[in-house]
Structure 1
Amino acid sequence: MRHPRAGRQPHGAMAARSRPPAPPAWMRWLPVLYVVALLVIEPVTPTDWPVSFALIAVPLVTAFASGPVVVAGATVFSVLFEGVLAGTPCCAGRSVGYLWDRHYVASYICTALVGALGTVLAAHRIRRERTLADVRFVADIAQRVLLRPVPHRIGGLLMESLYLSAAAEARIGGDLYEAVPTPYGVRLLIGDVRGKGLLAVETAAALLGAFREAAHDEPDLPALVDRAERSMNRRAAQLGGNEVGERFVTAVFAEIPADGHLVRVVNCGHPPPLLIRPGEVSELDRGRSAPPLNLGMLVGDPYHVDVYDFRPGDQLLLYTDGITETRGPDGSFYPLLQRLRSWGPLAPHDLLERLHNDLLAYSGNRRQDDTAALAVHLPAEEPPARSAPAAG
């Protein structure tokens, strides 16, 4: 899960991002708490079964959160402390003669062996954590290439993007978005690739590449969508087998011209965008959605362009079905329209931040699908400054 609007990383950030995350504080303090518990229990135990033998577990407990050097130190401490407890007369009446009792010597040897094992395990854990940190860092870079953060402002439009992964370990998936300034206005895309995994990521990358290129070349929105459709057809043909008929993408293409307060929309089987105005939230849907990309050949009809007013103060929200299909504990779907109407007008960043937090709270942080959203706001025109009256 994540919001990709993070600032640019400096070149030296790679080392910091590659470090394994620090373990929680309770895990670092667990060996100390374990020893304290043994000291509390030791005086009341029978002479024949001293709890000091349980110190054999200290190296392994330490290995959960510490490196090999700390585990080795914990091993030395455990062996010496076992000897101290064995030779302390006040501990349940035992005498110094117990110090070299064969049972204690066997305990010292076992503790040393367990400590050596814990040291090896700790070293292996550190290597695995560093490898995982490196992989996640590379995934972050891949996401910033595939789903690069949209600019905060393009011309007179304010923008914000949101991406949430269904799995905490994941970074990228099949949901996608983009905003491109062109000579024909700002062109927007949001989409959802059918399926999961690497094929979905590759398909999303192919669509984004086609859109970013064609957005500057095609003079009208249907031609842009047709070009994306042909790109997806070629992509599906390369997969071979039954993937040709099953690999498709639902998408919304939108265009906001620089010289007019309107928005043009072509919907290809995707949840309709929402238009947010003070006191009003409505779906931009006239029932003329085209098939998803790569399924257009099944119909063959031209793409319909729906035109809507986009006045100063309006906000456009494009989103994937990961939002509306988020389920609460009772199985009910997330009521997006009701939530937006109750919140009232919000700036793009505040809107997506509140939506992000509300989705996590509604689902109990148990979302089943990736989520992407793109908010575009046309600020209200400020009234012209009143000129001061001329002096008489």
Structure 2
Amino acid sequence: MTTPRDVNAAAWFAAASVAAAPLLSLRGTVLVGLAACAADLVLLVCSGLRTDRGAYSDWVSVATTAGLAVFLNRLLHRRDMRLRSVTGIAAAVQRAVLPQPPSRIGSLRIAARYEAAQSDAQLGGDLYAVHDTPYGVRCLIGDVRGKGLSAVETVTVVLGAFREGAYREPTLIGLAESIERTLLREAAQREELDRLEVFTTALLAEFSRPGDQLRLVNRGHPAPLFLWKGTVRQVEPSQHALPLGLAPLGADTVPLDTVHFPEGASLLLYTDGVTEARDVRGRFYDPADRLTGQCHRSQDDLLATVVADVHQHIGDQVTDDMALLVLTRHGPSGTEPRSAAPCPAPF
């Protein structure tokens, strides 16, 4: 009202309606549009331009823009509803394909974390599973080759084979071979060029019950971390082996490694989204080095620390999925371990 009469503010009133469309509800957008039309009309009256047809054409433009803003608001609302529906379906598929493992099995306490490379994605090519079997608590963590729906398809095949074989195969090596046979059958049904692309790096672990023995079979997967009394070390395989699904390329003997796993010890398993994360200088992330000397109050705190540290290391430029699984042995009754790391509240 204080600007010169030759200054036209219609564009600002129109901009208010357009800005309200993606930010406010339908009611809010309508109110902003009505307020813009009313304010522009008041200025026309106060400026003595009631007989100026050009000024009224500007008011019509403001009113038309307000109507278009309401239409845009409804269009964005419908797209948002569809996106929420798709996201909900994806979350349901994730829970069905990759269910959260139980928090406790006997003397083992378990926690898992999955971080997709794309913020809108719910599931990728990483996988994990934990089952209580007659042969002990068996767990699997792996990373299938590829991305997208084809990777998810292979994930379901691997998890199904592990779920079935974990209760049937008496040895961990036999379980790995059972999953391998399933992957080879799956590869045989694909085109010739895709057959050698159906493979999975995997780490299988078996916790004896009763006892304090941990058995591992590593098929081309990053070595897990053994955490005990504030120390961190990688459990490298005694002999490297090909990933699951690549048996036709070699006939090397797959070793079974046994590790002493006392009360209070933790085993941290992860996929290569952690170990292959690189900073701006191209340096790989080293979880053993970064976790040495740290103290964590709980398993969830440990997983959150690793994920946050990876994001900080790479500057939030995530290019691969991350799956993490941690298992801690407690006393027979589930009491806190006596030999845990010296934390105020050890997990």
TM-score normalised by structure 2 residue count: 0.91
Could you tell me how far 1:110 is from its partner in structure 2? Answer: 1.1
Deviation at 1:297? 1.9
Structure 2 distance, partners of 1:53, 1:333, is 52
d(CA) in 2 for partners of 1:74, 1:286: 66
Give the equivalent residue in structure 1 for 2:219: 268
Task: Provide the residue aligned with 1:37 in structure 2.
Answer: none
C-alpha contact (below 8 Å) 2:165/2:175 kept by paired residues? yes
Amino acid paired to 1:236: A
CA RMSD of aligned residues (A): 1.8
**Conservation of the 8 A alpha-carbon contact between 2:230 and 2:293:** no
* Corresponding residue of 2:16: 58
Query: Does residue 71 in structure 1 map to residue 22 in structure 2?
Result: no
Aligned residue among 185, 194, 201 for 1:243: 194
Q: Which residue of 1 aligns with 2:328?
A: 377
In structure 1, distance between residues paired with 2:45 and 2:209:
86
Superposed CA offset, 1:130-155 (max 9, x none): 00011111111111111111111101
Alignment match, 1:309: 260
Q: 1:280 aligns with which of 216, 231, 236?
A: 231
Q: Which one of the candidate residues 286, 310, 321 is aligned to 1:335?
A: 286
Identify if the C-alpha distance between structure 1 residues 71 and 245 changes in structure 2 by more than 3 Å, giving closer, same or farther.
same
User: Which amino acid in structure 2 is aligned with residue 294 of structure 1?
Assistant: G
Q: Is 1:348–1:375's contact at 8 Å kept on the other side of the alignment?
A: yes
Amino acid aligned to 1:220: T
Q: Shift of residue 300 of structure 1?
A: 2.1
Checking the alignment, whether the CA contact within 8 Å between 1:290 and 1:296 is kept in structure 2 is: no
Matched letter for residue 316 of structure 2? N
**1:39-59 deviation digits (Å, cap 9, x = unpaired):** xxx52x332123245312222
Q: Which moved more, 1:360-369 or 1:171-180?
A: 360-369
Structure 1 residues 325 and 346 mapped into 2: Cα distance closer, same or farther (>3 Å)?
A: farther
Query: 2:23 is paired with a residue of what secondary structure?
Result: coil
- 2:345 is aligned to none
Distance of 2:8 and 2:271 partners within structure 1: 62
Per-residue deviation, residues 291-324 of structure 1 (Å, max 9, x unmatched): 1111012112342111111111111111101011
AA aligned opposite 1:248: F
Q: Give the alignment partner of residue 211 of structure 1, picking from 162, 174, 177.
A: 162
Which amino acid is 1:83 matched to? L
Structure 1 letter corresponding to 2:303: L
Tell me, what secondary structure is at the counterpart of 2:204? strand
1:149-168 correspondence runs (5 A): 149-168=100-119
Structure 2 residue corresponding to 1:202, chosen from 148, 153, 168: 153
Shift, 1:213, TM fit: 1.0
Post-superposition offset of 1:357: 2.3
- Contact preservation (8 Å) 1:270, 1:320: yes
Give distance in 1, aligned partners of 2:226 and 2:84: 40
Distance 1:76 1:261 in 2: 73
Contact preservation (8 Å) 2:10, 2:58: no
**Kindly tell me: are residues 321 and 53 of structure 1, through their superposed partners in 2, closer, same or farther at Cα, counting changes over 3 Å?**
closer
TM-score by length of 1: 0.81
Say which of 14, 24, 41 aligns to 1:83.
41
Quote the sequence identity (%).
36
SS in 2 for 1:125: helix
For residue 49 of structure 1, what is the aligned residue in structure 2? Answer: 7
CA distance in 2, matches of 1:303, 1:140: 36
Unaligned runs of 5+ in 1: 1-41, 89-93, 384-392
Evaluate the alpha carbon distance shift between residue 157 and residue 58 of structure 1 in structure 2; reply closer, same or farther with a 3 A threshold: same
Residue in 1 aligned with 2:176? 225
Question: What's the CA shift string for 1:230-254, capped at 9, x where partnerless?
Answer: 1111112222231101221100011
Structure 2: runs of 5 or more not aligned: 337-347
Indicate the SS of the match to 2:137.
strand
The answer to whether the 8 A contact 1:328-1:363 is kept is: yes
**1:119 Cα deviation after fit:** 1.4
Q: What is the DSSP-based 3-state SS (H/G/I as helix, E as strand, rest coil) of the residue aligned with 1:64?
A: helix
- Structure 2: which amino acid aligns with 1:73? L
